[in-house]
Structure 1
């Protein structure tokens, strides 16, 4: 492993979005195992995707690169910011879609999707009956009445008939920011309390939503705060 080989490995890792270590770790080994012809075909296919999307893009947009688990904020054709992301795992893949951001929630509640209630919460409650309490998740029936966890039979799918809401806070699965856009998949961009996942090479851990590193630094949030401030000022004037 001489200096030239070390530089070549680091350059390869940087080009392929891997953590730059200079070592041929598992992720680097598998990336190196992909034939150049396959990479060229991937580039060609994605070029076609970009060409289809480009005419519909505005001067300011956010693009999530799902395979690379990264996010770019683009202004006037230039990447203004780039963020590491965590996207859906293979069996809960992040969907491909095109939408518009319409709402930013700060310190949001998390309303647990039925798919996660069915796949995860039921299992967690069987393993640890205090799971909901530890993570400050409350249960409500269709009339908005809160019910207790011991009123549900966790060995069945009864739980999907209720609404589960996690309180805002450090342990909230949305973190401190949730960015909404209309879509039929019930996915969104959000912060996360598990920041350590951003340091991994393979960042495919979510149930379809996209977790954004350093989300408080994004330009879209700056714009949202400005809009929110302007809205509050206008409302106060109207009240006066």
Structure 2
């Protein structure tokens, strides 16, 4: 069985402090009081950059307030930990809008010749769209990574099984295909439990009550984009000159 422990390290005392106050909609704590609770000196960024107080569960500190069902809102004086019922910083509707813009941008990139900048970034090198099932959490995740990466294997570590590894010619094609999987599963989108999200992130999940679509089904949803000539085009970074 997969470990469901949420790893908070030295930030666990903050979780315990917040968890003892479930009825308070907002919990306002000064920076000095946060330091006293966790017995740590906060870095300068914590007092000067509100984004340091992230809701990304890959960050150990974030798990302490997420586990207590809170999102942080920093100011000059301290942090307000506001009660919430979700992990992600943005609503699913906002995620959908962002995803739509991402897919549109990827499709537009497939309509024109590769730019030197995109080639230099490796965007025109092969990429993989993977699908992973996490049976204990009862969720399925889709994602993409560079063709040389073992990210799918790493992410499947917490009791997951890699169901599909679809190799695409470039990142733009992979982005469109990933988006097609998400559109097929849209009615079943969920967040994973925090014990899983601490290693996999929060987005691109759906409940496993909806079986993973096949690559052919996703390609059908990708539609005309999958028929563009650049869909199958790869340009290694070493071939930068050929893209100019």
Q: Does TM, scored on the shorter chain, surpass 0.5? A: no
TM-score, length of structure 1 as denominator length:
0.28
Bigger strand fraction: 1
Bigger helix fraction: 2
